[in-house]
Structure 1
Amino acid sequence: MALVALAILVLLGLLIIATSYSHDEKRSAPGYRPAKVPRPTKIKEDNMKLELKVTPKDLIPEVYFHGETYADKAELEQLDNVQKMIDEAYLMILGLYLDTKDRHEDSAKQLHAKAEKMLDQFKEPD
């Protein structure tokens, strides 16, 4: 019986702690910017499909210099996220480049040429 009472007290304590936590603390942090959410631009009623027009700017986080240590540290983390996205894009393009190498189909040649041109953008200038 004492064990049940203790468990109830622990659960009540956890409930009080969970409900007293301020969920908006992050919003008051310096450098905080709410995430941009793409809005639907065209809705089709074909089997309940929703189409969103998403641009690269919607997907890539913006990075700014604030001149304030805490805010710039957050921007450095954002820059790490951008680096991960660039690495992933590079690997996808490289995979396409290698898959279409030495292929004779016209579409494969077009894809290969486009991928090669894109990979050249990653090279360091002479």
Structure 2
Amino acid sequence: IVTGKQVNALGYYPNRAPDDEVVVQGELPHALGQGESVRVRVAETYTDPVGYTTKNGELVWDRTLGRPRNEVTLPEGWMLTETTVPAIISLDEQGRIVCRFTNPRNDEIHVVLKARRRGVTS
């Protein structure tokens, strides 16, 4: 991950990126010939401190997801109590709950997850 300014300095992209934007740059296994194309799969991980809130001891995550496949991992020690969108639910290697969402649409899906601390009853 580099800045637009760093990418622009390379001089081989036809369209300039704004200097202060974050840009993802990668290397392909080989140079592409005229008219050739290649499919690139991008995976990203980020935290979302704005999307998570707690209300009355309940963790609420409220966000739209636009990618075709998305994974949301709950913080350690929390159990899922509600999801507004169907998901595949599993545990990661650290025992945290992972919700996998598929978005077949050309726009975003609005997901609200709710969770409670494990071992706490309401």
TM-score range, shorter chain: under 0.3
Q: Which has the higher contact order (CA 8 A, sep 6+)?
A: 2
What TM-score, normalized by structure 2, do the two folds share?
0.25
The structure whose residues are more often helix, as a share, is 1
> Higher strand share goes to which structure?
2
